[in-house]
Chains A and B, each alone.
Chain A
């Protein structure tokens, strides 16, 4: 609901009635003003109540007890703002009777207690009208009687308990419903049904004061919710007279120190909701209500913003921590780097020195020993052979000379331990030389020993 909705409430008392102008907002009800008056016709009212209850109880068989019962049990009826055509007083009354049936299922026997003079508004007249269902004590007794007669399991408290129990805090199993007509104590079971109830009528002002001690003892042991008018609330137009006598509340409070009180306005809202009128009141717990109010939405928005901001701050703190950690690591690396450079240079020099040593060792091993090779060649050749030239070729030797038998040279060199293999590398020709006719040979030998390479 956005904004306010104004309506009229009507309460019947033992001696008269009060019409209350209410402004309903989401957070509750504010009383704008009230008008008091006498009942028009008590005899007619009592008779009408009897007829009305018959229809009422008939409706109870098919409809929600709360829907009808609360609206009737509370001495308040919802007043619709009606748009009425220009008509006489009798025509207006008749029209109201017909329209009233749409407000409460009491048919055309509902009793009109009061109405306001319609004021002129162009060609139409508008009026705010009240509808009376019953006075409470008569109602309760009559409902009980009709319920028993028809075998219905309705206690008097059922008429109000359906809506009232929704107002009770968790764990509260007992309620005291206060009105001018008296005090009704209701005890609920675990499933929310009425376990038992007792009604203490005002009875000319003595009934409430005669609240029995045993009830006080029971109330002292339970968590009880007081449902009634606000203490000290008065009507501006009646000179601030209290809504009801506050003595019952004080007595109950003495018996139950932890008593929680619920002012009448929410109960009125619950009654309106129960009769099917568009909900004017938010009766949910306060924390749920706050979500839909502007302040609640602001609070939720601030909370969400705070959570998001906290998450961002947490993340930023992580980033900053990471940054400082990286800076520390890089600083440590910078400190170590000169020492590491020294070690790396040392390692590089070691590698070079090791390679140099390896190269020198290898070259030492590969050093040719030509004197040994030539000495072995001199030993290996046959005695009749002499060499004219020796040259290194392909890792071996090419030996040229003269001998009596070239094949003997090849065979002799082949048998040597220094030379690997020997073969003729050129044609063998016989020539006349200083010692006579000899064979000219050219033999290629390989070196078996590493010392003779190159």
Chain B
């Protein structure tokens, strides 16, 4: 085969073979390797950036611990003002019980209680409540409101309406008061690690 080719033909064949080898080497080896190298450089930049962030986060660990301590201290005072139950529905029951105790203590008769749907107040806080209609004299109504304002749980009274009843026959005027009362429940699922101490 070699003897049948002239010198020029052999030279052309060798040159063509070398050219094809160069093209194939570039397309199949050098180019993929180049792209692999570019990927590696990008991965290195990303890894360096991640490591930098990780080291910064770990370096701030001490500061976070201090923040945890101060926040827990604050919550130890604030969290007992809310109901701490696992289900908001149970908190409504607690709220009704508290209301009924306050009404009994002030000689107020509860005419109607209608629970309100729970509502999210914040990320870890849910409000539960009820609309209430009570009857009593002025002293009783004011005493009830006073009790609700000063109880250990944080309660919001809204949509208050006071009016005379139609059955005012005696000396002491009977009043009917309607209002909405809301208490607040800490969402234990989100703040499970925050210590809450009931008062």
Q: Residues on A close to B: CB < 8 A?
A: 316, 318-319, 322-323, 325-326, 329-330, 332-333, 336-337, 339-340, 343-344, 346-347, 349-350, 352-361, 363-364, 366-371, 374-375, 388-392, 454
The reply to whether B160 and A326 contact each other, CB–CB distance below 8 Å, is no
The reply to whether B51 and A333 contact each other, CB–CB distance below 8 Å, is yes
13 contacts between A and B (CB under 8 A): A326-B40, A339-B58, A343-B64, A349-B191, A349-B194, A352-B191, A353-B72, A356-B75, A356-B124, A368-B160, A390-B163, A391-B162, A392-B159
Q: Who on chain A is nearest to B163 by CB?
A: A389
Bound Cα distance from A353 to B57, whole angstroms: 19
Q: Who on chain B is nearest to A354 by CB?
A: B71
* B96 at the binding interface (Cβ < 8 Å): no
The reply to whether B47 and A357 contact each other, CB–CB distance below 8 Å, is no
The reply to whether B161 and A344 contact each other, CB–CB distance below 8 Å, is no
* B193 at the binding interface (Cβ < 8 Å): yes
Bound Cα distance from A329 to B50, whole angstroms: 9
Bound Cα distance from A333 to B45, whole angstroms: 13
The reply to whether A322 and B156 contact each other, CB–CB distance below 8 Å, is no
Q: Which residues of B contact A358 (CB under 8 A)?
A: 122
Number of B residues, CB within 8 Å of A = 55
Bound Cα distance from A339 to B58, whole angstroms: 8
Q: Which residues of B contact A360 (CB under 8 A)?
A: 78-79, 81-82, 125, 154, 184
A352 and B124 in contact, given A329-B47, A346-B64 (Cβ under 8 angstroms): yes
Instruction: Point out the residue from B36, B67, B154, B162 that lies within 8 Å of A363, measured CB to CB.
Output: B154
Bound Cα distance from A322 to B40, whole angstroms: 7
The reply to whether B162 and A389 contact each other, CB–CB distance below 8 Å, is yes
* B8 at the binding interface (Cβ < 8 Å): no
Bound Cα distance from A359 to B74, whole angstroms: 12
Q: Nearest Cβ distance between residue B160 and chain A, in whole angstroms?
A: 5
A333 and B44 in contact, given A349-B194, A352-B191 (Cβ under 8 angstroms): no
The reply to whether B68 and A350 contact each other, CB–CB distance below 8 Å, is yes
The reply to whether A319 and B158 contact each other, CB–CB distance below 8 Å, is no
* B37 at the binding interface (Cβ < 8 Å): yes
Q: Who on chain B is nearest to A387 by CB?
A: B162
The reply to whether B190 and A343 contact each other, CB–CB distance below 8 Å, is no
Bitwise interface map of B from 142 to 172 toward A, beta carbon under 8 Å scored 1, else 0: 1001100100001111111111100000000
Q: Nearest Cβ distance between residue A32 and chain B, in whole angstroms?
A: 26
Bound Cα distance from A347 to B161, whole angstroms: 45
Q: Residues on B close to A: CB < 8 A?
A: 33, 36-37, 40-41, 43-44, 47-48, 50-51, 54-55, 57-58, 60-61, 64-65, 67-68, 71-72, 74-75, 78-79, 81-82, 121-125, 142, 145-146, 149, 154-164, 184, 186, 190-191, 193-194
Instruction: Point out the residue from B61, B81, B194 that lies within 8 Å of A353, measured CB to CB.
Output: B194
Q: Which residues of B contact A374 (CB under 8 A)?
A: 142, 145, 162
Bound Cα distance from A366 to B127, whole angstroms: 14
Closest 7 A-B residue pairs measured CB to CB?
Answer: A329-B47, A359-B122, A391-B161, A389-B163, A454-B158, A360-B78, A356-B124
Q: Who on chain A is nearest to B48 by CB?
A: A329
The reply to whether B44 and A322 contact each other, CB–CB distance below 8 Å, is yes
Bound Cα distance from A391 to B163, whole angstroms: 8
Q: Nearest Cβ distance between residue B90 and chain A, in whole angstroms?
A: 19
Instruction: Point out the residue from A318, A325, A347, A392 that lies within 8 Å of B64, measured CB to CB.
Output: A347
The reply to whether B191 and A322 contact each other, CB–CB distance below 8 Å, is no
Bound Cα distance from A133 to B146, whole angstroms: 147
The reply to whether B51 and A336 contact each other, CB–CB distance below 8 Å, is yes
Q: Nearest Cβ distance between residue A60 and chain B, in whole angstroms?
A: 44
Bound Cα distance from A115 to B183, whole angstroms: 138
Bound Cα distance from A370 to B121, whole angstroms: 22
Q: Nearest Cβ distance between residue A423 and chain B, in whole angstroms?
A: 20
Can you name 5 extra interface pairs (CB under 8 A) apart from A318-B37, A336-B51, A371-B149?
A339-B58, A355-B122, A360-B154, A363-B154, A364-B78
Q: Who on chain B is nearest to A370 by CB?
A: B145
The reply to whether B61 and A371 contact each other, CB–CB distance below 8 Å, is no
Q: Who on chain B is nearest to A324 by CB?
A: B40
Q: Which residues of A contact B37 (CB under 8 A)?
A: 318-319, 322
Q: Nearest Cβ distance between residue A425 and chain B, in whole angstroms?
A: 15
Q: Who on chain A is nearest to B147 by CB?
A: A371
Q: Who on chain A is nearest to B164 by CB?
A: A388
Instruction: Point out the residue from B36, B55, B68, B163 that lies within 8 Å of A336, measured CB to CB.
Output: B55
Bound Cα distance from A275 to B142, whole angstroms: 139
The reply to whether B51 and A356 contact each other, CB–CB distance below 8 Å, is no
Q: Which residues of B contact A392 (CB under 8 A)?
A: 158-161
